[in-house]
Amino acid sequence: MKIDWNMPPEEIERESFRRIEAEMGPHPFSPAQWIIVRRLIHATADFSLAQDLHFGHSPIEAGLEALRRGAPIFCDSNMIRGGLSLPRLRRAFPGYKPDSIHCRVADPKVMAMARERRIARSLAALELSRNLLAGCILLVGNAPLVLAGAARMIQEENLRPALVIGMPVGFVHVVESKEMIMETSVPHIVLKGRRGGSPLAVATLHAILENLDVPSA
């Protein structure tokens, strides 16, 4: 097989997208949604993800509006925080600040609460961050209890994030947490089932930025 050693990265991406679109064929997604679906397929080489992606309550439009006003981003893991591209956010929204991206799992107060109450640090971080949650973008790629906890706060306390990207991965509480968030009226993008992960949550938010010139669904 011939390898083009001099093929530039942007051309590799364009060719990858061309092949994805050719293999995918007709699909039910709007142009704005397709940018996200295509990006996740590109990240995983897994076309079956498309059938499990759920877009609820105009999430792309809601996410872009939240970023325009500098809404905080709350992450359930430092992997998500480290994976988010601040330069990309700043190119799209020049005033966006690095201290708007939050992950508190290593916060001493969080660790103390987790030990005292014998709960996961990620859940303790969520409970100690109520002041951030209203109007924030919530990225969950690791801890299903964060997603379920957010759904409970939405339902019981009327704490409403601007956007929830719900993609925890695993076998315990994962499916249930996603179903809980999909029952809310908060804008959300959820990968149904047991699949997910921090890289997919990051890729989803980055793909939302690609929609700046595409009509939202």
pLDDT, residue 216, reads 41
Question: Length of the chain, please?
Answer: 217
d(CA 2, CA 67): 43
- pLDDT tens track of the chain, all 217 residues? 689 899 999 999 999 999 999 999 999 999 999 999 999 999 999 999 999 999 999 999 999 999 999 999 999 999 999 999 999 999 999 989 889 999 999 999 999 999 999 999 999 999 999 999 999 999 999 999 999 999 999 999 999 999 999 999 999 999 999 999 999 999 999 999 999 999 999 999 999 999 886 544 3
What the block records as the tokens of 5 is 């050693």
Distance CA 176, CA 130 (A): 22
CATH class (in words) of the domain with range 9-213: alpha beta
Helix intervals (H) in the chain:
9-24, 31-44, 59-68, 78-83, 86-92, 108-117, 121-127, 130-133, 144-157, 174-182, 198-209
- The single-letter code of the amino acid at 139 is L
Q: What is the C-alpha separation between 155 and 153, in angstroms, rounded?
A: 5
Q: Which residues are catalytic?
A: 42
Q: Is the pTM of this model over 0.75?
A: yes
Domain ranges in the chain are: 9-213
